[in-house]
Amino acid sequence: MPVPPDLAGRTFAPTAPYDVSAAKIAEFSAAVGQPAGPDGQAPPTFPIVVAFGAMTDLMRDPEVGISLQNVVHADQRFEITRPVVPGDVLVAELTVDTLRQRGGADFIGTRSEVTDASGAHVCTAFATLVHRAPEPTDLP
Amino acid sequence: MTLTPGADLGPSQFPITRADLVRYAGASGDFNPIHWSERVATDVGLPGVLAHGMFTMALAGRALSSWLGPDDRLVSFGVRFSKPVVVPDDDAGVALEVTGVATEGEEGRVRVDLTVTVAGEKVLGQARAEVAPGA
């Protein structure tokens, strides 16, 4: 099933607040092999942890209902106001900026605004997700 | 030290093994089985287990961060995931190589164009960053 055509323009509820601990940054840093920076700054792609939560909420939405394994991440861009540091409490609010449907695939252009506990901007994460529904004959 | 236009950056090389993908899945929260299960990956038509695009981007970001001066500030960083990185189930994995070229950007910023390859083939497209240089 393709996603509903009226998905474009929809803004989803913000994700649950995410408490960023030094331990979580250390775990991410170890996984990418990049030690935390001054003041415990997380590596630059760390905000994907929060933005991915927003993308997961989008995929699980009853009106969207797409399975992660049928989704390809086509591109990703961060516009960064400041690095993430331990003690940050972050939320991501995702908007579907664009939706193109062609060749049986949905090209979903998303923008997730990541803000801290004061509501100040931390970064914006832009991602294009390409969804290909399985062929009907492939369904169990 | 600050990043200056005209600089040739890298190369930086990073191995990627299945163990790295499992560790990244846990740290990032992206448990898509195409990044750890050969069965699921091939069932959905992929050539094998793929590295998370965000993991390859993170390694490019690691190289990028190593090229910045202490007061330089990363303003934007973007990539297209142009070619999947298939990671074999062995101890060696694959080697990701990252190089960069710094040029003058807009508004006094430095633009960095990154080239990210595995076995000589580009795996990220339009990989670029903008840096606000420190004093």
Domains of chain A: 7-133 (3.10.129.10)
Distance CA(B7)–CA(B102), nearest Å, equals 5
**Inter-chain touch B58–A34, beta carbons under 8 Å:** yes
- Residue A2: the pLDDT is 80
Distance CA(A107)–CA(A121), nearest Å, equals 26
More confident residue, A132 or B16: B16
- Residue B64: the pLDDT is 97
Residues 6+ apart with CB under 8 A from A111: A94, A95, A97, A124, A125, A126
Chain A and chain B share a number of CB contacts under 8 A equal to 96
Does residue A18 belong to the interface with chain B, where contact is any CB pair within 8 Å? no
Q: What is the DSSP letter of B52?
A: -
Question: Out of B14, B26, B28, whose CB is closest to A48?
Answer: B28
**Inter-chain touch B80–A30, beta carbons under 8 Å:** no
Contact between residue A40 and residue A32 where contact means Cβ atoms under 8 Å apart: no
- Residue A140: the pLDDT is 47
Does residue B79 belong to the interface with chain A, where contact is any CB pair within 8 Å? yes
**Inter-chain touch A45–B61, beta carbons under 8 Å:** yes
Residue pLDDT, tens place only, B53-75 = 999 999 999 999 999 999 999 99
Q: Which of B105, B48, B32, B122 is nearest to A55 (CA)?
A: B32
Tens digit of pLDDT per residue, chain A (140 long)?
Answer: 788 889 999 999 999 999 999 999 999 999 999 999 999 999 999 999 999 999 999 999 988 888 887 888 999 999 999 999 999 999 999 999 999 998 889 999 999 999 999 999 999 999 999 998 776 544 44
Residues 6+ apart with CB under 8 A from A6: none
Chain B residues inside the 8 Å CB shell of A80: 73-77
Does residue B81 belong to the interface with chain A, where contact is any CB pair within 8 Å? yes
Question: Which tokens go with B110?
Answer: 């430095």
Question: Out of A69, A73, A78, whose CB is closest to B77?
Answer: A78
Residue of A nearest to B61 (CA): A44
**Inter-chain touch A73–B24, beta carbons under 8 Å:** no
Q: Which fold has domain B8-16+52-132?
A: Thiol Ester Dehydrase; Chain A (3.10.129)
Distance CA(B36)–CA(B25), nearest Å, equals 9
Q: Which residue in B43, B62, B124 has the most chain A C-beta atoms within 10 A of its own C-beta, making it the best mutation to test that interface?
A: B62
**Inter-chain touch A32–B64, beta carbons under 8 Å:** no
Q: B135 in helix, strand or coil?
A: coil
Rounded to the nearest integer, the mean pLDDT of chain B is 95
Question: Out of B44, B62, B81, whose CB is closest to A32?
Answer: B62
Residue of B nearest to A45 (CA): B58
pLDDT-derived band at B103, boundaries 50, 70, 90: very high
